[in-house]
Amino acid sequence: MADGPQTRIRRLEAREWKKLRGIRLEMIEDSPSAYVESLASARAQSEEQWQGRAAAMAGPGSVALVADDGRDGSPLRALMRVVTKLPQNGTRPRQAMLISVYVAPEHRGSGLADRMLRQAIEAARTELGAGVLQLGVHEDNGRAQRFYLRHGFQDTGAREPYPLDTDQSEIIMERVLPTEA
Protein backbone atom coordinates (compact mmCIF):
# COMPACT_ATOMS: atom_id res chain seq x y z
CA MET A 1 0.00 0.00 0.00
CA ALA A 2 1.46 3.37 -0.96
CA ASP A 3 1.36 6.43 1.23
CA GLY A 4 -1.50 8.67 0.26
CA PRO A 5 -3.94 11.19 1.61
CA GLN A 6 -5.59 8.48 3.73
CA THR A 7 -2.33 7.89 5.62
CA ARG A 8 -2.39 10.22 8.59
CA ILE A 9 0.48 11.24 10.79
CA ARG A 10 -0.44 11.97 14.38
CA ARG A 11 0.78 11.75 17.95
CA LEU A 12 0.87 8.45 19.79
CA GLU A 13 -1.57 8.43 22.69
CA ALA A 14 -0.67 6.74 25.99
CA ARG A 15 -3.75 4.50 25.74
CA GLU A 16 -2.40 2.97 22.51
CA TRP A 17 0.08 0.67 24.24
CA LYS A 18 -1.19 -2.41 22.37
CA LYS A 19 -0.61 -0.69 19.02
CA LEU A 20 2.81 0.42 20.22
CA ARG A 21 3.66 -3.14 21.20
CA GLY A 22 2.53 -4.37 17.77
CA ILE A 23 4.63 -1.94 15.77
CA ARG A 24 7.65 -2.29 18.08
CA LEU A 25 7.69 -6.07 17.67
CA GLU A 26 7.24 -5.66 13.90
CA MET A 27 10.07 -3.16 13.61
CA ILE A 28 12.54 -5.24 15.62
CA GLU A 29 11.66 -8.38 13.65
CA ASP A 30 11.99 -6.49 10.35
CA SER A 31 15.30 -4.79 11.17
CA PRO A 32 16.97 -6.41 14.20
CA SER A 33 20.17 -4.37 13.98
CA ALA A 34 18.36 -1.03 13.74
CA TYR A 35 17.19 -0.98 17.35
CA VAL A 36 18.97 -1.45 20.64
CA GLU A 37 16.51 -4.02 21.91
CA SER A 38 16.25 -7.68 21.05
CA LEU A 39 13.01 -9.25 19.89
CA ALA A 40 13.12 -11.67 22.84
CA SER A 41 13.44 -8.77 25.29
CA ALA A 42 10.57 -6.85 23.71
CA ARG A 43 8.33 -9.93 23.65
CA ALA A 44 9.07 -10.61 27.33
CA GLN A 45 7.74 -7.25 28.51
CA SER A 46 4.52 -7.25 30.52
CA GLU A 47 1.39 -5.31 29.67
CA GLU A 48 2.28 -2.90 32.48
CA GLN A 49 5.70 -2.30 30.94
CA TRP A 50 4.12 -1.57 27.55
CA GLN A 51 1.66 0.79 29.21
CA GLY A 52 4.58 2.59 30.85
CA ARG A 53 6.45 2.83 27.54
CA ALA A 54 3.44 4.29 25.78
CA ALA A 55 2.89 6.80 28.60
CA ALA A 56 6.55 7.87 28.49
CA MET A 57 6.46 8.24 24.71
CA ALA A 58 3.34 10.41 24.92
CA GLY A 59 4.64 12.40 27.90
CA PRO A 60 6.77 15.51 28.44
CA GLY A 61 10.15 15.70 26.72
CA SER A 62 9.02 13.32 23.99
CA VAL A 63 7.19 13.64 20.68
CA ALA A 64 6.16 10.25 19.26
CA LEU A 65 4.73 10.45 15.76
CA VAL A 66 2.84 7.51 14.29
CA ALA A 67 1.11 6.86 11.00
CA ASP A 68 -1.98 4.81 10.31
CA ASP A 69 -4.62 4.57 7.61
CA GLY A 70 -7.03 6.91 9.40
CA ARG A 71 -9.53 4.27 10.50
CA ASP A 72 -10.26 3.61 14.14
CA GLY A 73 -8.49 0.47 15.27
CA SER A 74 -6.09 0.36 12.32
CA PRO A 75 -2.53 -0.77 13.09
CA LEU A 76 0.34 1.68 13.17
CA ARG A 77 2.38 1.63 9.96
CA ALA A 78 5.19 3.99 10.99
CA LEU A 79 6.83 5.38 14.11
CA MET A 80 9.31 8.19 14.72
CA ARG A 81 10.22 9.73 18.06
CA VAL A 82 12.23 12.73 19.22
CA VAL A 83 13.28 13.15 22.84
CA THR A 84 15.11 15.81 24.78
CA LYS A 85 18.77 14.95 25.25
CA LEU A 86 20.59 16.04 28.38
CA PRO A 87 23.33 18.53 27.49
CA GLN A 88 26.88 17.23 27.59
CA ASN A 89 28.39 20.67 28.06
CA GLY A 90 27.27 24.27 28.13
CA THR A 91 28.78 25.27 24.79
CA ARG A 92 26.35 23.45 22.51
CA PRO A 93 22.73 24.32 21.82
CA ARG A 94 20.01 22.22 23.43
CA GLN A 95 19.87 18.82 21.75
CA ALA A 96 17.19 16.30 20.92
CA MET A 97 17.58 12.70 19.77
CA LEU A 98 15.73 11.04 16.92
CA ILE A 99 14.98 7.44 17.90
CA SER A 100 12.70 4.51 17.06
CA VAL A 101 12.40 5.30 13.35
CA TYR A 102 10.39 2.73 11.41
CA VAL A 103 8.22 2.60 8.30
CA ALA A 104 6.44 -0.63 7.37
CA PRO A 105 7.80 -2.23 4.17
CA GLU A 106 4.69 -1.48 2.12
CA HIS A 107 5.11 2.27 2.80
CA ARG A 108 8.84 2.52 2.12
CA GLY A 109 9.68 4.76 -0.82
CA SER A 110 6.24 6.40 -0.64
CA GLY A 111 7.31 9.69 0.94
CA LEU A 112 5.79 8.85 4.33
CA ALA A 113 9.20 8.80 6.07
CA ASP A 114 10.05 12.18 4.52
CA ARG A 115 6.79 13.69 5.79
CA MET A 116 7.28 12.23 9.25
CA LEU A 117 10.89 13.36 9.51
CA ARG A 118 9.95 16.93 8.55
CA GLN A 119 7.34 16.90 11.35
CA ALA A 120 9.82 15.37 13.81
CA ILE A 121 12.42 18.04 12.99
CA GLU A 122 9.84 20.78 13.49
CA ALA A 123 8.68 19.28 16.80
CA ALA A 124 12.29 19.02 18.03
CA ARG A 125 12.81 22.69 17.21
CA THR A 126 9.53 24.19 18.39
CA GLU A 127 8.28 21.87 21.13
CA LEU A 128 11.53 20.58 22.60
CA GLY A 129 13.48 23.79 21.99
CA ALA A 130 16.36 21.94 20.36
CA GLY A 131 19.04 23.61 18.27
CA VAL A 132 20.55 20.28 17.22
CA LEU A 133 18.85 16.99 16.35
CA GLN A 134 21.10 13.96 16.73
CA LEU A 135 20.71 10.27 15.92
CA GLY A 136 22.63 7.02 15.87
CA VAL A 137 22.43 4.72 12.87
CA HIS A 138 23.95 1.25 12.58
CA GLU A 139 27.09 1.22 10.47
CA ASP A 140 25.58 -1.38 8.09
CA ASN A 141 22.35 0.55 7.46
CA GLY A 142 23.33 2.44 4.32
CA ARG A 143 19.74 3.11 3.29
CA ALA A 144 19.03 4.96 6.54
CA GLN A 145 22.33 6.86 6.32
CA ARG A 146 21.45 8.10 2.81
CA PHE A 147 17.95 9.07 3.99
CA TYR A 148 19.34 11.19 6.82
CA LEU A 149 21.99 12.80 4.58
CA ARG A 150 19.20 13.81 2.17
CA HIS A 151 17.50 15.58 5.06
CA GLY A 152 20.51 17.63 6.08
CA PHE A 153 22.07 15.39 8.72
CA GLN A 154 25.85 15.14 8.76
CA ASP A 155 28.14 12.41 10.02
CA THR A 156 29.81 13.87 13.13
CA GLY A 157 32.69 11.40 12.91
CA ALA A 158 31.72 10.02 16.32
CA ARG A 159 31.08 6.31 16.71
CA GLU A 160 29.48 4.49 19.62
CA PRO A 161 29.51 0.75 20.25
CA TYR A 162 26.27 -0.89 19.16
CA PRO A 163 24.68 -2.09 22.42
CA LEU A 164 23.63 -5.53 21.15
CA ASP A 165 27.07 -6.26 19.66
CA THR A 166 29.90 -4.01 20.80
CA ASP A 167 32.09 -5.21 17.91
CA GLN A 168 29.78 -3.14 15.69
CA SER A 169 29.19 0.62 15.75
CA GLU A 170 26.53 3.24 15.47
CA ILE A 171 27.37 6.29 13.38
CA ILE A 172 26.39 9.52 15.15
CA MET A 173 24.76 12.02 12.82
CA GLU A 174 23.26 15.42 13.56
CA ARG A 175 21.48 18.31 11.99
CA VAL A 176 21.57 21.90 13.19
CA LEU A 177 18.01 23.19 13.42
CA PRO A 178 17.04 26.66 12.26
CA THR A 179 16.04 29.15 14.92
CA GLU A 180 13.03 30.16 12.80
CA ALA A 181 10.70 28.20 10.55
Pairing of strands 95-103, 132-138: parallel
pLDDT at residue 90, as a whole number? 63
Per DSSP bridges, beta strands 8-11 and 62-68 are antiparallel
Q: What is the pLDDT of residues 124-145, one digit of tens each?
A: 999 999 999 999 999 999 999 9
Q: What are the start-end ranges of the H helices in the chain?
A: 17-30, 39-43, 47-57, 112-126, 142-150
Q: What is the pTM of this model?
A: 0.89
Q: What is the pLDDT of residues 8-43, one digit of tens each?
A: 999 999 999 999 999 999 999 998 888 889 999 999
